[in-house]
Chains A and B, each alone.
Chain A
Amino acid sequence: MALTEKRNVSSKLNPKRPKIDIESIVEGILGSRKRANDVFDILESLRSAKEKDVISAASACSKLFSTLLERKDLFIGKLPDEDEALNGDYSAEEKYHIFMRHRYNSCVEMLLEYLHHEVHEVKESVLSCLMKFAAAEGQHPLEDMDWSEHYSFPRQLIQLVVDNILSKTTDNSLLISKFQEYLEMEDVRYYVMSSIRVNVSAVMEKNKEVLLHVYQNNVFTLMSSINMPSQESELTNFMVKQEAKLEDWKATKLSDHKRGFEKMWLGFLKYKLPVSMYKKVLVILHDAVLPHMIKPTLMIDFLTAAYDVGGAISLLALNGLFVLIHQHNLDYPDFYRKLYNLLEPSVFHAKYRARFFHLVNLFLSSSHLPVYLVAAFAKRLARLALTAPPTALLIVLPFIYNLIRRHPSCRVLIHKPTAEDEALEDPYVMDEEDPVHCCALESSLWEIKTLQKHYHPDVAKAAMLINTPLPVQEDDISEVLEITTHEMNNNES
């Protein structure tokens, strides 16, 4: 009875109260149970429209409830309805606990709502508040627990937080970067990964074949911000200290982490992605994802699909494929043919030019390749060089020279003395997709001869090299891969 009275009074008084003494209210609630109804004031100010009030109220809440959690002043176990509790057969102590637990739940609900707030500061403080609750809950679980089966971790709370962070409407990348610091903790990371998986499958099942750009972007940001440990011994930083049976806890096992990680990624990549997302995924795939998977070969489907898309996506898929071929014995039929067809004029203008040429250089460094293939690559690159900017030309010309050096039988491309001085049309067929039939070996690299008249002196000089037998030493391509026009300019002066 008294409680309701008090509540009425407080609600009446609330608008007049100055909000500055929110700290003192917290002190008061924690000091004596009689002032427990003041908690409504705090919740009221949490509802306020002003960001400042919200932030201060959130910090007050976090202080209040984490202290209460510590004191075990919150009801533990299955929570009865509030009215039921009032009428029911509970002691005053229990009634207080139930009351406070209800307030706690409503507070959490409100905080979760605030995760969609447009002001970043609010979101940030709310998030830190929620994570504090999560930590406190982990330490002092609110559930009745059978210790033999369960480990105390606020899985529900984390699930709720993740669900709310992965918004469908707003780009939460800033908040996610804030959230990243909690992901450093092993158990949080583990449970976040599984929550992501659950969330993604739930959301994507609902909206089949529809691209949710913002949502997928948020998911990707969150997933890419997960830093996987490389060794089990590194798993030391936990949010919740488990008292018993530490060995069986999944969050302490690296393999479980990996499995969770793998499931999460596969669950995400299962669904249709926008093109920009494809690129983003492929960029990080080879060094952030593949090494942390238990079975990287599971990515084959995804990668081959991406490789067949064409254009820049194919270029990027090349990197992941390379890892699979190189380290996991993937046998890819017609790999070189596809690679050959990847060579388009746009290759020289793409953002990932350096990476692409690095890989192509790797693929073509084998000395067991057939001559016709190497010649086809050289000729095609030379033909494409006719449209390339000077920075790309400084890569392509040494690249072609290296090919010819590695495969001396390709030297006919730049040196084919004939008895009779006949002139012939270029036999090379540019449109032929199969390097076997493109007749590159019968051709000569007249394109490089053309480039000897290029306007840039460095390029012209590089092209001049075909006038004389090439020096034996291979050129180091990695030096020129990242060269920019500005650097070329600076070399100039």
Chain B
Amino acid sequence: MGKPPKKKSLADKVRKTKTASEIKNNPFEVKINRKKFDVLGRKSKHDVGLPGVSRSKAINKRKETLLKEYKQKNKANKFVDRRFGEYDTKMAPEDKILQRFAIERQRVHEKKDVYNLNEEEELTHYGQSLAEIEKFNDNVNSDDESEEKGLLSAELTASHFGGGGGLLRKKTSEEQEEQGNQRAKSRQELIEELIQKSKLEKRERQVQREEAQELTEKLDQEWKSIQALMVKKTPKSEQTDKPEEKPKLEEYDMMVRELGFEMKAQPSERMKSPEELAKEEEEKLQKLEADRLRRMIGEDGGDGVQRPAHLSADDLNDGFILDKHDKKTLSYQDGKWNIGKETEANQKEELEEEQGEEEEESDGGEEEDESDGGEEEEEECSSEEEDGHSDLDSEQESEEETSSKPKQSLSREELKAQQEAAKAELPYTFPAPESYEDLRRLLRGHTPENQRLIVARTQKCNHPSLAAGNKLKLQKLFGFLLEYIGELATRSPPELTTVDKLIPELYTLCQMFPLAACQAMQSILGDAAHSMEEVLEVKGHASFPTLDMLIYLKVTALLFPTSDFRHPVTTPALLLICQALTKCPVRSLQDLTSGLVLCCLAVEYVSLSKRFLPELINFLSGTLHLAVQDKTSLGYTLVPPFRLAGKYSNLLVLSSSECCESWSKESLPLSVRLELDARSDLDKDHYRLNCLSTCLDLVKRCCLLYKDLPSFIHVFQPIRALLSKHLLTQTLPKPLQKFHSEILDCLKEAPLTHSRLVFEKKKPIPLKLLTPKIVEVLDYGKKRGSTREERERERLKHKYKKEFKGALREIRKDSRFLAREKLSEVMNRDAERKRKVKEKGRDKGGGAGFHKNKQSVMNKSQLLDLQKEKKRKTTHNNTTGASYHCVNLMRKYTQQSPGTQIPPGSYRD
């Protein structure tokens, strides 16, 4: 009957039951693939094969796929398994069940309850109706649960935890018995019994619980009646307990509480970004401006806030308004500044001397503040005279007013005065000037300090982070400011205080837009250099730069780094200075002053980098030469623009020697140009001595600066000769004698000897090596020399070949399998038929032998025919494994067949 398949499955079963190691260790299962060469260190995957295992795997696979297809062949119907997630291996079984349940419920619900309006589905929790549970919801106690948990009946545990222990037990007993039907029945009964039991128990428990509830309620009531009596007593009893516990608790608790109440690190305020700061600044200014405007219009709004600001320390609170703003000459009308008089006229004309200029960087600010204060006072005086009328009037009036109505909040006059004050105050916001004229208009008539404020406010109001176009505006502003500074310097008298005030603003702008600042400065310097070059080409010499150019050069030194090896602004500036020093002949004391200023600038430029400026030394020695009286037998050579003798070669020679006594050192004024001619001889001599002292000071600085140069001696040889032979100490005033001796000492100290020049030592260049280069070849057998693409193509080709072969093999195996199946089908059919025939023959009894013989004969002839056919096929297509296999089988069959009755099951032996 179903033997052949069973047998096969048995073999498989045996194989399956065996563990992998068992199979591997079984010599009959293992096939060892012989290797041609042993390669050390190579691990091959396929040295041992398990043909049996792999074959059975392959057959199983085919059974699942190919056989099914074969059986489904020519069939229209199809069995579809629509169980949810049946073939989804990824899904967890619990999920599967849940989903199925959900779907089921849904289906039921949909069908039944589409038109069901009233009846709601009963909600349950663990199988209990929620509605029921809610009824005694409050009464559920932990006690109850524990009680319930405490109930550990054997049956319950058995039913709950034993996995149906009872059932199992019965099952085992049932196993001994044979029948399965009975088993099912008893199980059902059992379950029903169980359910009944549990229901009963439940009911009992509920009853118990209700009773307990009643009892507790009763107890509660009783407790309440007693509680009042117990109030006093209980704390004591507790206290008796606590002292023991307290020390332990306290430390920890204290700590916890302390920590709890401790101030936590508050999130600090975020650092503001520059944009925000700028915005804040602008807002502040705008607010101030709005306030000012409001006061100017005369509204009474911010009085309370503003008032304290107006109170001075000396205010006696007597109602006098001593508004200092009133006294300023500045006034603001219709958005324009008008002012009676240039206040700068009073400005001192004595300006900072060059030496001072350098010091000024450090402590200049304070000095200016002082001087500013003085100026303001002057201003105040002058302005008081001007608008004294109105002041007086208002003061008088206000006096009257205040005397009559001291408590009145704000009189008309006060309002008016405030208005005036607002007018006088600077506006807080300014539009960025669009042209140079705009800037001039904006700054015209202001004190230096106010001009600085205006520029600063303009800059804040137009900070680049506030609006897109502001960057460009401010860049322009830098150019305009530079131009303005130049103009200030060309005015007579030059307004250098203002220049000084504006420089910090220039600096901030320069820091903001280094590139634009660079370009602006470059263009100014370039123009100057170009014009000088042109003059030189025409005349052969040029005049010294004017004051504005000197200021520009100074500003350059302040704004840009001077010590850079190469800087797009400072290098041309230095070149310009040096060119001026070589090409501009000295024809007057003014020229000499300018030249000395340039020298100061030059020294300032190189003070950090200590670079060598030949022009500087030339100019200084030339200047000293101007002071030499006897111009014969010189021990030095002069360099242009100075000449040995000529009209201007005695510029610094003193007209009389008496002036030495009366002279005291003064600073060299920059704006001396105009008045010099009018001076007396003595004044001139003093001026000469000033020049000489500046010059000597510069020489001293240079000495210190260039001390380390290898040819220091030769560089300073002319100066040395001048000082030691021609400008003798006796002829000089005392302060200069000091300089003189200091310089000579410095020159004497300088080292005379130097070590010889040699090239820098270089690393020797290694000789060229001629030994062959050895390259290790690590990948023998691989095709080398081909490109990556070629190798890839080769690899693909190889892979394709392999796959192709594999596919062919698989197809062959498939067809073999199918043929086998077909054959077995045929065999089965035959056997079936034979069996039936046999049965029939047996039934008939007598005619059996005949039938049997006939049957066998027919069978034999049939088989022979089949065999022939197969043979032909094999000769035709010998490679087909399936037919080969068949033939083998046939052969077996035919060998066995003569004379013996073939049992149907023995076909496959």
Q: Is B341 an interface residue (CB 8 A)?
A: no
- Does chain B have a CB within 8 A of A425? yes
Q: Give which listed residue, A346, A351, A486, contacts B529 with CB less than 8 A.
A: A486
Contact B568 A493 (CB under 8 A): yes
Please state if A493 and B572 are interface contacts (CB–CB under 8 Å).
yes
User: Shortest Cβ distance from A312 into chain B, in angstroms?
Assistant: 11
* B660–chain A nearest beta-carbon distance, Å: 32
Interface status of B867 (Cβ within 8 A of chain A): no
Q: Do residues B533 and A486 form an inter-chain contact, with CB atoms below 8 A? A: yes
Residue B615 lies at the interface, judged by CB distance under 8 Å to chain A: yes
How many of chain B's residues have a CB under 8 angstroms from any CB in A?
Answer: 48
Q: In whole Å, how far is B802's beta carbon from the nearest beta carbon of chain A?
A: 66
Q: Which residue of A lies closest to B612 (CB)?
A: A453
**A349, B639: Cβ atoms closer than 8 Å:** yes
Q: Which of chain B's residues have a CB closer than 8 A to the CB of A469? A: 759
Among A415, A422, A453, which residue has the most Cβ atoms of chain B within 10 A?
A: A453
Q: List, in ascending order, chain B residues with CB within 8 A of A460's CB.
A: 565, 611
Q: Chain A residues with Cβ under 8 A from B754's Cβ?
A: 423-426, 444, 446
- Report the nearest B residue to A424, measured CB to CB: B753
State whether the Cβ of B571 lies closer than 8 Å to any Cβ in chain A: yes
Nearest opposing residue in chain B for A422, CB measure: B755
Q: A457-B566, A489-B529 are in contact. Are A423 and B755 (CB under 8 A)?
A: yes
Which one of B565, B582, B711, B753 lies within 8 Å of A349 (CB-CB)?
B582
One of B578, B579, B610, B757 near A445 (C-beta < 8 A): B757
Q: Does B575 contact A (CB under 8 A)?
A: yes
A376: min CB distance to chain B, Å:
16
Q: Does A170 contact B (CB under 8 A)?
A: no
Known: A416-B756, A468-B759. A457 touches B571 (CB 8 A): yes
Residues on A with beta carbons closer than 8 Å to the beta carbon of B638: 345
Q: Which residues of B contact A413 (CB under 8 A)?
A: 757
Q: Could you tell me the distance in whole angstroms from the C-beta of A440 to the nearest C-beta in chain B?
A: 14
Contact of B757 among A388, A389, A449, A453 (CB under 8 A): A449
Binary interface profile of A, 419-436, with partner B (CB < 8 Å = 1, else 0)?
Answer: 001111110001000000
Cα(A157)–Cα(B606), bound, Å:
69
Q: Closest Cβ of chain A: how far from B382's Cβ, in Å?
A: 47
Instruction: Look across to chain A and name the residue whose beta carbon is closest to the beta carbon of B762.
Output: A468
A382's nearest neighbour on chain B, judged by CB, is B711
> Closest residue to A415 on the B side, CB-wise?
B759
A485 near B611 (CB under 8 angstroms)?
no
For residues 605 through 628 of chain B, which have their beta carbon under 8 Å from a beta carbon of chain A? 605-606, 609-615, 617-618
Question: Which of chain A's residues have a CB closer than 8 A to the CB of B618?
Answer: 387
Contact in complex: A493, B522 (CB < 8 Å) = yes
A387 and B642 alpha carbons, distance in the complex (Å): 13
A469 to B574, CA, bound (A): 31
CA distance A284 to B824 in the complex (A): 129
Q: Which residues of chain A have C-beta atoms less than 8 A from B340's C-beta?
A: none
B711 touches A450 (CB 8 A): yes
Chain B 749-788 near chain A by CB (<8 Å), digits 1 or 0:
0011111111110100000000000000000000000000
Among B581-618, those with CB < 8 Å from A are: 582, 605-606, 609-615, 617-618
CA of A467 to CA of B566 in the docked complex: distance in angstroms? Answer: 20
> Within 8 Å of chain A (Cβ to Cβ): is B715?
yes
Within 8 A of A (CB), among B507-529: 522, 526, 529
**B533–A484 CB distance below 8 A:** yes
Question: Quick check: A454 and B611 within 8 Å, CB to CB?
Answer: yes
* Residue from the list A345, A446, A447 in contact with B637, Cβ < 8 A: A345
The answer to whether B711 and A447 touch across the interface, beta carbons within 8 angstroms, is yes
> Does B898 make an interface contact (CB < 8 A)?
no
Asked whether B565 lies within 8 Å of A457 as measured between CB atoms, the reply is: yes
Known A-B contacts A344-B637, A349-B640, A484-B533; A492 and B757 likewise in contact (beta carbons under 8 Å): no
Q: How far is the CA of A489 from the CA of B571 in the complex (A)?
A: 8
A90 vs B709: C-alpha distance in the bound complex, in angstroms?
Answer: 98
- When distances are taken between beta carbons in the complex, the residues of chain A under 8 Å from B759 are 414-415, 466-469
Known contacts A447-B711, A453-B610; A389 and B578 CB within 8 A of each other: yes
**Chain B residues with CB under 8 A of A489:** 526, 529, 572, 575
Minimum Cβ distance to chain B for residue A349 (Å): 4
Q: Is A417 in the interface zone, CB < 8 Å from B? A: yes
Within 8 A of B (CB), among A456-470: 456-457, 460, 466-469
CB closest residue in chain A, given B708: A453
Contact with A along B725-766 (1 / 0, CB 8 A): 000000000000000000000000001111111111010000
Report whether A455 and B613 are in contact in the complex, using a CB–CB cutoff of 8 Å: yes
Q: How far is the CA of A453 from the CA of B715 in the complex (A)?
A: 13
B714 touches A485 (CB 8 A): no
Task: Out of B533, B709, B752, B758, name the residue touching A425 (CB < 8 Å).
Answer: B752
A75, chain B: closest CB distance, angstroms: 54
**Interface status of A451 (Cβ within 8 A of chain B):** yes
| A484 cross-chain contacts in B, Cβ below 8 A | 533
Which residues of chain B have C-beta atoms less than 8 A from A451's C-beta?
Answer: 612
Are A453 and B611 closer than 8 Å at their CB atoms? yes
Whose C-beta in chain A lies nearest to the C-beta of B756?
A416
The reply to whether B758 and A415 contact each other, CB–CB distance below 8 Å, is yes
Do B756 and A447 touch across chains, with their CB atoms under 8 A apart? Answer: no
Q: How far is the CA of A421 from the CA of B758 in the complex (A)?
A: 11
A469 to B610, CA, bound (A): 27
Closest to B577 in A: A455
Check if B540 is an interface residue, CB within 8 A of chain A.
yes
Does B235 sit at the interface, judged by CB under 8 A? no
Question: B165: CB under 8 A from chain A?
Answer: no
B575 close to A390 (CB less than 8 A): yes
Give the distance to chain B from A156, nearest Cβ to Cβ, in Å.
Answer: 42
Q: Which residues of A contact B762 (CB under 8 A)?
A: 468
A468 near B760 with CB under 8 A, answer yes
Instruction: List, in ascending order, chain B residues with CB within 8 A of A383's CB.
Output: 714
A367 at the interface (CB under 8 A from B): no
- In the complex, whether A488 has a CB less than 8 A from a CB of chain B is yes
Cβ contact within 8 Å between A416 and B714: no
Question: Least Cβ distance of B595 to chain A in Å?
Answer: 15
Given A387-B618, A457-B565, A485-B575, answer yes or no on A416-B757 (Cβ-Cβ < 8 Å).
Answer: yes
Q: Would you give the shortest CB distance from A224 to chain B, in whole angstroms?
A: 20
* Contact yes or no, A390 B578, CB < 8 A: yes
Q: Is A386 an interface residue (CB 8 A)?
A: yes
Contact flag A488-B575 (CB < 8 Å), given A450-B711, A451-B612, A454-B611: yes
Residue of A nearest to B759 (CB): A415
**Are B757's CB and A387's CB within 8 A?**
no
Contact A456 B757 (CB under 8 A): no
Could you say which residues of chain B place their CB within 8 Å of the CB of A447? Answer: 710-711, 714
- CB pair B526–A421 under 8 Å, yes or no, is no
**Complex: chain B residue closest to A386, CB-CB:** B715
Counting CB contacts under 8 A, is B530 at the interface? yes
Set of chain B residues within 8 Å of A430, measured between Cβ atoms:
714
Nearest to B526 among chain A residues (CB) is: A489
Could you say which residues of chain B place their CB within 8 Å of the CB of A424? 753-756
| Contact call A389/B611, Cβ cutoff below 8 A | no
CA distance A456 to B540 in the complex (A): 23
Q: Is the CB of A455 within 8 A of B711?
A: no
Is B614 in contact with A456, judged by CB distance below 8 angstroms?
no
Q: Would you call B757 and A485 a contact (CB within 8 A)?
A: no
Residue of A nearest to B566 (CB): A457
A386 to chain B, nearest CB (A): 5
Residue of B with least CB distance to A447: B711
- Which residues on B sit within 8 Å (CB–CB) of A457? 565-566, 571
Contact B752–A418 (Cβ < 8 Å): no
Q: How far is the CB of B257 from chain A (nearest CB, A)?
A: 73
B713, chain A: closest CB distance, angstroms: 8
Chain A residues engaging chain B, CB cutoff 8 angstroms: 344-346, 349, 351, 383, 386-390, 413-418, 421-426, 430, 444-447, 449-451, 453-457, 460, 466-469, 484-486, 488-489, 492-493
- Knowing that A345-B638, A416-B757, A453-B610 touch, tell me 7 more A-B residue pairs with CB under 8 angstroms: A349-B639, A414-B757, A424-B753, A450-B712, A453-B611, A456-B575, A457-B566
Q: Which 9 A-B pairs have the closest CB atoms?
A: A423-B753, A455-B611, A457-B566, A349-B640, A446-B710, A444-B757, A486-B533, A450-B711, A453-B612
Q: What are 5 A-B contacts with C-beta separation under 8 Å?
A: A416-B756, A421-B755, A424-B756, A425-B753, A484-B533
